[in-house]
Chain A
C-alpha cells in the first residue's frame, strides 16, 4: 500500500520536475498519468519490472482506492465559494446561467462529435 502510493507520488514528482524544468505548458499530474501508464505497459513487456507495487494488484488497488472517492477531493476548492459571495451577489445569476448553458452545449457537442466520428470512421474501415 505504502509502496503503491509512493509510486503514484513519484510519477507526479518526476512529472512536475520535467514540466517545470522544461517549461512545458502542461499540467504536472497529466504528465504523471502518462508516466504511470507507460510504466504499466512496460511491465507487461519486461517481466523484470513486475516487482514491488507493480506486481499483484499493488498500484492498481491503490489507484482504485483514490478514484473511488474522486468527488470528495473537489469539496475544499468548492467551499472557496464563501470567498466569492460578493461577486456572486452582483453577478451570480448571470454566472450560473452562463455556466449551465455552456456545460449543456459542451456535453451535446462532444457526444454528437464522438458518435458521428465513430460512425464515419468505422464505415470507412468496413467499405474496402
Chain B
C-alpha cells in the first residue's frame, strides 16, 4: 500500500494501463447506453466517449500525449480494421458487382463534393489558410486524412479532430436525412455514409443494415484512395 495516495496517482496517470482502461470502459458504457436506446442516432457512442474522456483529461490536467500513450493501442487498430473490410466486401461481392458502375460515378461526385464544399465554405467564412487546408481531407478515415494534412504542411491534429467531428455528425444525421428524403435503397444510403463520414459513418451503417454497412465500407475505402489524389489538386485550384 502506498503511503501517499497522490504518488499512486502520479504513477498510474503516467502508465498506459490507466488510459487504455479509461478508453475501453468509457466506450463500453457509451455503447451500452446506445444499445439501451436501440441505437438512437444522438446516443452515438463515439461522441459521448470523446467528451467524457476529454473532460476527464482536462480535470486531471493530463496531457493528450500521456493519454495517447495508452490509447495508441486502440488507435493502431484503425489500419488492420481497414484491411478487414475486405471480408464483408468479399462476402457481398455479387451485390457489389451488380452496381459497380453507379458506385464509381457516385464515388467521384461524392469525393469531389466533400472536398470542394468544405474548402469553398471555409474560404467564404474567412478562416485562416492553415485551418482550410486542415479541414480539406475531413471525409476520409483518420490515418489517411492526417497523412494528407501533413503533406500539405497543415495541422494533422486539427485534421484528426475535423475527421472525427465530420464522422459523428454524418453518423447522427444520415438516418433521419435519408428517411426524410424517402430514400430506401440501403446500398445508396450506406455508400453515401461511407463517402461522407468514413469509419464512423460505416459503423453507423452496420448498425442500421448489413448491406448498408458493406457499401459504407466500400465507399470509405474507395474514398481514401480518391481523396488522397484529389485534395492536393483541389487545394491548388481553390485556396488563395
- Which A residues fall within an 8 A CB radius of B? 5, 8-9, 11-12, 15, 25-30, 32-37, 40-41, 59-60, 62-64, 66-67, 69-84, 87, 91, 94-111, 113-115, 117-118, 120-121
Contact = CB atoms under 8 A, between A and B. Distances in A.
Interface in B74-106: 74-75, 77-91, 93, 99, 101-103, 105-106
Contacts, number: 302
Q: Which 8 A-B pairs have the closest CB atoms?
A: A110-B110, A63-B84, A76-B71, A117-B102, A29-B82, A78-B164, A36-B86, A71-B203
Contacts of A83: 64, 157
A6 B12 CA distance: 31
A113 B201 CA distance: 18
B191 A114 contact: yes
Given A12-B83, A70-B199, A71-B45, A77 B160 contact: yes
Given A98-B125, A110-B106, A63 B87 contact: yes
A34 B113 CA distance: 25
A108 B195 CA distance: 11
Given A67-B206, A74-B199, A37 B89 contact: yes
Contact of B84 (A67, A102, A104): A67
Nearest to B219: A110
Interface of B: 23-24, 26-27, 31, 44-46, 49-50, 53-54, 57-58, 64, 67-68, 71-72, 74-75, 77-91, 93, 99, 101-103, 105-107, 109-110, 113-114, 117-118, 121-122, 125, 127, 131, 135, 138-139, 141-144, 147, 157-158, 160-171, 173-174, 177-178, 181, 183, 185, 187-189, 191-193, 195-197, 199-200, 202-204, 206, 217, 219, 221, 224-225, 228-229
